[in-house]
Amino acid sequence: GGKYAVILGSFDGTYFEALTPQMPGMISPMQKADGLLLITPDVKQLKKDKRVKMIPIKWEFCSTKEEDLFTL
């Protein structure tokens, strides 16, 4: 069995780009991240322009707009 991985990144409204560097236990990338990917053990590689499900992690707390998980 493989492991689950969390990839922090930035989302520009169209594309998600992983932040680098990211190592286990690092929290410094979290201040720049506005989304994350949860990679399941069966995923060996992600190719550029592949559709992924991103979890947004920064919301406007004063907004009336509802946010949800979505596929890019």
Q: What are the domain boundaries of the chain?
A: 5-59
What mean pLDDT comes out for the span 4-33?
87
User: What average pLDDT score do residues 28-42 get?
Assistant: 88
Tokens at 39, concatenated: 């990679």
Give pLDDT, residue 67.
62
pTM for the full model? 0.69
Q: How many CB atoms neighbour CB 28 within 10 A?
A: 11
Contact 71, 52 (CB under 8 A): yes
Could you give the CA distance from residue 72 to residue 62 in angstroms, rounded to a whole number?
25
